[in-house]
Amino acid sequence: MTETQHQDAQDASPHNLRALVDRLGPALVLYARQLCDCPEDIVQDALMKLAKQTPWPDNPPAWLYRVVRNGAISANRSRQRRRRHEQTVAQMRQSWFVSDNGTAHDAALATDALAAMPADQREVVVARLWGQLTYQQIADLTGSSVSAVHRRYHHAIEHLRERLGES
């Protein structure tokens, strides 16, 4: 066992951990960078796991490289899974409005106007116009008073009229 390996195999004292980070940190980040797009996070996680190990592994550098490799592979799988899910959802997402060729532009403007308004107002408009719920039903749904729902609805309609250039 070399002197460096002997020092690495000692306990997880702050001094030993700091020395290991100083010696291996940049190389671990470089290694992780080839495997994932968040190398610093992966290395930090691996170092935190090492600090919690009792006792320390026999060969901390080899252990760290293995944990970094596994973490980077997991991070890539998660990223790919998330990307596939987001693409699937984006493909499935339909416009809020069904339009024919003559009203496609108006539907896009209305969608943009709805997306730009505050969520509480948008919720009331969608529930009222498309869900055909009464103000009382919307109040029950949102946990608001009927007057608050009525106020949000009218503010939202004013917002839509301004955005769409209607009087």
- Cβ–Cβ < 8 Å for 123, 142: yes
Q: Is 51 exposed, middle or buried (0-12, 13-18, 19+ CB in 10 A)?
A: middle
Can you list the pairs that 13-18 forms with residues at least 24 positions away whose Cβ atoms lie under 8 Å? Answer: 17/47, 17/50, 17/51
The b-or-e profile of 12-28 (16+ CB within 10 A means b, else e) is beeebbeebbeebbeeb
Question: Could you identify the residue written with the tokens 């550098």?
Answer: 61
pLDDT in tens, 112-146: 888 888 889 988 998 898 888 899 999 999 999 99
- Third-level CATH fold of 101-164: Arc Repressor Mutant, subunit A (1.10.10)
Model pLDDT, residue 115: 84
Model pLDDT, residue 110: 79
pLDDT in tens, 51-69: 999 888 999 999 999 999 9
More confident call, 11 vs 73: 73
Please tell me the distance from the alpha carbon of residue 56 to that of residue 52, in angstroms, as a whole number.
8
The band of 6, judged by pLDDT with boundaries at 50, 70 and 90, is very low
Contacts of 8 (CB under 8 A, 6+ apart): 16, 20, 59, 60, 61
Contacts of 123 (CB under 8 A, 6+ apart): 142
pLDDT in tens, 74-117: 999 999 999 988 887 776 665 555 555 555 557 778 788 888 88
Model pLDDT, residue 167: 64
Q: Is the pLDDT of residue 8 over 50?
A: no
pLDDT in tens, 17-52: 899 999 999 999 999 998 899 999 999 999 999 999
Model pLDDT, residue 16: 87
The structure's pTM equals 0.50
The b-or-e profile of 98-132 (16+ CB within 10 A means b, else e) is eeeeeeeeeeebbeebbeebeeebbbbbebbeeee
Please state the domain extents for the chain: 3-92, 101-164
Model pLDDT, residue 35: 87
